[in-house]
Amino acid sequence: MSLLVLKTGLLDSVQDLGRWGYAHLGIHAAGAADPVGLQVANLLAGNEPGTAALEMHFPAPVLRFEKAAFFALGGADFHARLDGMDVPVGTPVHAAAGSKLVFLRQVRGMRTYLTVRGGFELDPWLGSFSTDLMAGTGGLQGRALQAGDRLPFRQTWSDAAPSRIFPWRANVSGLYPSEGMFRFLPGPEHDLLDEASRQRLETSEWRFGRRANRMGCLAEGSMLALHEKLELVSSVVLPGTVQLLPGGDMLILLADCQTTGGYPRIAQVVSADLSGLAQQRPGEGFRLRKVGLDEATEAGLEQRRVLGRLGWGAICLLEYSLKKD
């Protein structure tokens, strides 16, 4: 009654929407790097949007459904195949007992999410199922998955039907920013940038550096400078915070960032664009556009509305389809 890892992937861990409420102890939230991808997968599977899922990077693992399961993928497209059938992202799937899921190619994005209806049976740590890879706790034994690991299903299905890909697909186009354009709010230390750097922040063509992980990634393309050197005492950082490193490089923080940092926070990528940021691959170009708080707030609200509608749609279709069966 589990999902069995047949072959280890690059970095695969259990994540939900994060472990909030412990930053005062230095415990960061972790959680899905692409929270939209996680939620899409869950909504398609008929789960609560924040249910813990398996976050996978490429090369992704080879997985076996030891018992029948109902699952969905969200986030990146790694060209999934279930026993020879193509599995699109954002589509509910019934997997027959014993079926094998493989991921062939990194078509688009960095991280894909697999969730099963009912969720995985795991123990939470401090109220969350997210794996804290640094502290070695949460998720499955506090670590990335490896061959032989099993994620037990909370809900079992006696369904002996063959595997089946459901005939609908979530439209996620409104959920990710278009064409490598990420919006940002000026960070608390944005004003410390010199005039030319403030310009360059918005006009440069940026690229993600090779060394990208769940903590963050370096942006390449231009060097920025402060008009005034300032020693900052440590203060909050968040996923989406853009720090200026002493050498002039920009570091964009993601889900596994620390709770505090001491580098100038020159920008904050708006929440609505954070998932798109986490799907950016090393070497891909992007631009940054400054927006006001109103636009950022509206974008976040709209994203949550789209997710809400997607959830309703998925539930209606599932009920209709399951009745028809």
Partner 1 sequence: MAHAIPPPICIPIAEHALLVQWENRIDPLLNDAVQHLYRVLSAMNPPGLLDLVPAYSSLALVLDLAWFDRQFPEANPLQVAQGWVESALKTPGNFEAVAGRLVEIPVCYESDFAPDLERLAAWAGMNASEIIAHHFGPEYRVYMLGFLPGFAYMGTVDERIAAPRLVRPRERVAAGSVGIAGLQTGIYPLESPGGWNLIGRTPLRLFDPQRPEPVLLRPGDRVRFRAISTDEFNQIEQTP
Question: Where does this chain bind partner 1 (CB under 8 A)?
Answer: 20-29, 125-126, 132, 134-138, 142, 185, 187-188, 230, 232-236, 238, 240, 258-261, 265, 268, 270-271, 293, 296-297, 300-301, 304
Q: How far is the CB of 137 from partner 1 (least distance, A)?
A: 4
CB of 98 to partner 1, least distance (A): 35
Nearer CB in complex with partner 1: 99/128: 128
Instruction: Please identify, using beta-carbon distances, which residue of 171 and 235 lies nearer to partner 1.
Output: 235
Select 119 or 264, whichever has its Cβ closest to partner 1: 264
- DSSP codes of every residue in 61-118: PEEEESS-EEEEEEEEE--EEETTEEE-TT--EEEPTT-EEEE----EEEEEEEEETT
Look at residues 92, 96, 85, 65 and name the one whose alpha carbon lies nearest to residue 160.
96
Q: Which is nearer to partner 1, 159 or 295 (CB)?
A: 295
DSSP state of 128: B
- The least CB distance from residue 47 to partner 1, in Å, is 15
| C-beta atoms surrounding 64 within 10 Å | 17
- In the bound state with partner 1, the residue whose beta carbon lies nearer, of 204 and 271, is 271
Closer residue to partner 1 (CB): 18 or 285: 18
In whole angstroms, the minimum distance from the beta carbon of 211 to partner 1 comes to 14
Q: Which residues contact 236 (CB under 8 A, 6 or more apart)?
A: 23, 259, 260
SS3 24: helix
- Site of tokens 């939209």: 36
Rounded Cα gap, residues 261 and 257, in angstroms: 9
At its nearest, how many Å lie between partner 1 and the CB of residue 286?
A: 19
Q: What sign does the dihedral 75-78-82-85 (CA atoms) show? A: positive
Residue 265 Cβ, how far from partner 1 at the closest point, in Å? 7
Tell me how far apart the alpha carbons of residues 32 and 50 are, in angstroms, rounded to a whole number. 9
